[in-house]
Structure 1
Amino acid sequence: MQPTITIRPLRPAVAGDASTTLDLLISIEPPQRPPDLQTPQRPPLNLALVIDRSGSMAGEKLSYARKAARSLAAELTARDRLAIVTFDDEVQIVVPSRPVDSALPFLQAINTIEAGSTTALFDGWLAGALQVAEHLDAAALNRVLLLSDGQANEGLTDAAAIAEKVAGLNQRGISTSAFGLGAGFDEDLMGAIAAAGDGTLAQIESPAQLADLYASELQGLATTSGRRVSIGIRLQHGAELVDVINDLTVTSAGNLQLPNLRQGQTLQVGLRLQLPAWTPNQPITGIRLAWDAPGVSGRQELRQQLILPVLSVAELGELEVDLEVAEQLALLQASRDRRSVIDALDRGDQGAALASLQSIDIELAAMPQSSSISHERQRLAEQRQLLASDRNLSRKRLRQDVLRSSLNVWDGGTNTQQD
């Protein structure tokens, strides 16, 4: 079974007597399991759980972290491998990678984890990644689950350098999810790690959410049919790419990196093209979707081509827009426009930040008020209120919203990838 690609223009034609600005929504639907089939066996998991045990984790945070780790170990089977790694200024491999034929050794070891001092985040991540690498399995999903409540302040601390290391191991098949806990973690660093690691980003405001987060992550891994997903845009006959609305990472091959293919989660990509006067029956662009499928050797790929009717400018102007496409493009734009709010906060200009939030809401207010648009406007209203009371938490939520269009983002149990 393969995913499906749908290319939908905002207006279903282009001009033959003038240039055209063409807005497109590319929807990627992962393969769905037929309802009459039994639930297939999920791929085996090769995991490393890396837990921050720096001094700021003492008390309730570490207690919940231990409890959630015990829940995670209890959910795995003998087909899976798990390593437990902790870090403060030093790294400790609490349980080297081993099959989970019994949860007891993990439970006993997890109970010994105690808080320490500073935060050697990169060293902790690297130790976990090496545990996964020692047992790298092409048929399995190989992932590091990194949990931290603080800033990287020991060893390698530069976010770009850390992300580069994470991306390098992702190319070898080891992905990374980044979970920020509480009010003190570095949301820019954790977002960069999740993006480079092709994993999940989570902001956990209460440590009581950890068990639900781990359960969601396991469910996501169980329904993953493709990772290292990329989309290539191959423009033809003078068409130019003006904008990609999503904040997507560009791969070394010049393609756009997408989140994992997960059952039930549609991926949306918004594009703006500029076309010269167009000739009938001429392809506008080719789309190539590529991914790695667990247990299948080699890159998988799917291709799609776009050809649209050609009309005069006058005729084109009379066409109705596709309201669903307009809505999805507006939601993607609203996520991206939050970057200007973050920029204003970083300059210390709270008035400009509030004005930017209001500007985003005004744009959405002009749209038909569907449930998705209303929900987004409610998020904006909550962010305006939060901005006045808690700048730090406001910035974290804004960063999470910016990244929704390019990452798997966990939002208190609700995946916020727009669909």
Structure 2
Amino acid sequence: MFNLQLDWDRPAKVSSQLSEHILRVRILPSLGDVQRQATLPLQLAVALDTSASMQGEKWQWAKAATQALVSQLRESDRISIAGFADWVTPLVQNLQNNQLDKLQAVVHNLVAQGVTRTDLALSWIGSVLSSETQRARIGILITDGHPTTGQGEVLEDAAILIEQAKKMAEDGITLCTVGLGDAADFNSALLISLSDRGQGTFMYADNPTLLTPQLQERLQAVQAIALTDAIIKLNLTAGVKLKKCCQFRPDYLPLIETASQEIHLRNLRVDTATDILLALEVPALSTNQLLGNYAIAQIQLSPSPSPSLSPSLQFTSSYTEAQQVNQEVDRDRLCWDINRYSTELTLANDPLQTGELLSQIQAAALKSGQITIAREVSQQLNDLQKTGKLSAHQTTDLLIATRQNNS
């Protein structure tokens, strides 16, 4: 179903005691699967914020967006939708694409009021998707405000929400989050953490009219899922260490080593390649080893009929050879750095830290040829110098720009 293609960023210069190298693992759908469109049916659960702050234009566009999702479902897809405020109000369950009138009837008289019980919304997503099998299970949380307690106070400790997202991912449920309206009114960093831990995607619709096209684009992407669970198995030679890893394409997603020398992946698609970047620490050659190419790892995708691959890394004492960088993989490395810094930026409160992160993003953007990103960062550095801070919209907008820059 999928094939692997492996590429290093550069050779290893033997004079170094230790060197870090990026190995890009490209997971390619076989041409036959693309032609057959061997995709999984979807089970969607959309939790829509119906608190008082949603009144007006945001509420109207949110209702229109959910109706647009239903109209885009395939015959095999199913969707459940609930509103959440002080409590969760299930609206429809297992709705099909030919039942749009049923949704319209229940949302017509729904009123936006109350507080924002995000914890209850996450619990509902987990429960409504828990029993589905042989389907890609996708939860979508749409909100315009900070999560609150039952008394309407802002939830200060969001650890319980992060744990809920993590548990969903462990149960095979992907969580996507949407920040609707001005980012100053909701917690961007939390929504990003929820989608990252939930192995999903964060979306930002600062203008409510952008909600419908963003959800439709995300639905089209998940309708191309062919495999919901996969594992990259690493067999590293002695002394080689995995330092960090991420999914870089089609969507940026920080990853962790879920077991010893194993990385758990979700939602491989048939319409595009999935790129995984591995940062490996490689020791120098021992005194009795000759210069040349050495296989320092075995990479296997499971489940897959394809055999494991052993990418050879060149060890050289030549400065010229050591500078023969794979420009494409090196650009991916720099863009990975940009994504990490922009994520940290949404958490930064100190102006000095904010300035340092912006400078690191700018340097990596210039090196990788990301001129648009570099210009935006330059403007934000100027704003920071004038005002001493950045708005939530600026940091969130920059994060979206960097995460969409991986194509």
SS at match of 1:260: strand
Deviations 1:226-277 (Å, cap 9, x if unpaired)?
A: 3345434432122234455777232542444556323225424151423131
CA 1:49–1:243 in structure 2 vs 1: closer, same or farther (change >3 Å)? closer
Deviations 1:356-409 (Å, cap 9, x if unpaired)?
A: 4234323543x374xxx223323423544665585121232355467x3xxxxx
The answer for the alignment partner of 2:133 in structure 1 is 137
Alignment of 1:4-43 (within 5 A): 4-11=4-11, 13=12, 15=14, 19-31=17-29, 33=31, 40=37, 42-43=39-40
Structure 1 unaligned residues grouped into runs of 5+: 291-298, 405-415
More displaced, 189-198 or 24-33? 24-33
2:66 is the counterpart of 1:69? yes
RMSD value, Cα: 3.1
Q: Distance in 1 between matches of 2:257 and 2:37?
A: 32
More displaced, 192-201 or 254-263? 254-263
Match of 1:261 among 259, 268, 278: 268
CA 1:9–1:146 in structure 2 vs 1: closer, same or farther (change >3 Å)? same
SS at match of 1:248: strand
Q: Distance in 2 between matches of 1:23 and 1:123?
A: 43
Alignment of 1:71-86 (within 5 A): 71-86=68-83
CA 1:375–1:267 in structure 2 vs 1: closer, same or farther (change >3 Å)? farther
2:108 is the counterpart of 1:108? no
Match of 1:337 among 332, 341, 344: 341
Given that 2:7 and 2:23 are in contact with CA atoms closer than 8 Å, whether structure 1 keeps it comes out as yes
The answer for the alignment partner of 2:299 in structure 1 is 287
The answer for the alignment partner of 2:311 in structure 1 is 306
The answer for the alignment partner of 2:250 in structure 1 is none
Given that 1:267 and 1:418 are in contact with CA atoms closer than 8 Å, whether structure 2 keeps it comes out as no
CA 1:322–1:250 in structure 2 vs 1: closer, same or farther (change >3 Å)? closer
TM-score by structure 1 length? 0.80
Match of 2:374 among 374, 377, 393: 377
Shift of 1:144: 1.3
The answer for the alignment partner of 1:358 in structure 2 is 359
The answer for the alignment partner of 1:220 in structure 2 is 221
Amino acid at match of 2:60: S
Amino acid at match of 1:144: G
The answer for the alignment partner of 1:408 in structure 2 is none
Amino acid at match of 1:171: E
CA 1:352–1:282 in structure 2 vs 1: closer, same or farther (change >3 Å)? closer
Shift of 1:152: 1.1
2:205 is the counterpart of 1:197? no
Shift of 1:127: 1.5
Given that 2:70 and 2:96 are in contact with CA atoms closer than 8 Å, whether structure 1 keeps it comes out as no
Structure 2 unaligned residues grouped into runs of 5+: 248-252
Q: Distance in 1 between matches of 2:368 and 2:121?
A: 48
CA 1:393–1:172 in structure 2 vs 1: closer, same or farther (change >3 Å)? same
Q: Distance in 1 between matches of 2:68 and 2:382?
A: 35
SS at match of 1:30: strand
2:321 is the counterpart of 1:325? no
Instruction: Give the % identical residues.
Output: 20
Q: Distance in 2 between matches of 1:114 and 1:28?
A: 47
CA 1:144–1:277 in structure 2 vs 1: closer, same or farther (change >3 Å)? same
SS at match of 2:259: coil
Q: Distance in 1 between matches of 2:325 and 2:98?
A: 56
Given that 1:147 and 1:180 are in contact with CA atoms closer than 8 Å, whether structure 2 keeps it comes out as yes
SS at match of 2:255: coil
Aligned positions, number: 386
Shift of 1:26: 0.8
2:406 is the counterpart of 1:418? yes
Q: Distance in 1 between matches of 2:392 and 2:123?
A: 28
Shift of 1:325: 2.5
Q: Distance in 1 between matches of 2:382 and 2:305?
A: 45
Q: Distance in 2 between matches of 1:304 and 1:386?
A: 49
Q: Distance in 2 between matches of 1:268 and 1:161?
A: 29
2:254 is the counterpart of 1:248? yes
Kindly report structure 1 stretches of 4+ aligned residues shifted beyond 6 Å: none
Q: Distance in 1 between matches of 2:296 and 2:365?
A: 30
CA 1:193–1:78 in structure 2 vs 1: closer, same or farther (change >3 Å)? same
CA 1:230–1:383 in structure 2 vs 1: closer, same or farther (change >3 Å)? farther
SS at match of 2:2: coil
The answer for the alignment partner of 1:294 in structure 2 is none
Given that 1:335 and 1:401 are in contact with CA atoms closer than 8 Å, whether structure 2 keeps it comes out as no
Shift of 1:50: 0.9
Q: Distance in 2 between matches of 1:256 and 1:133?
A: 23
Q: Distance in 2 between matches of 1:364 and 1:41?
A: 37
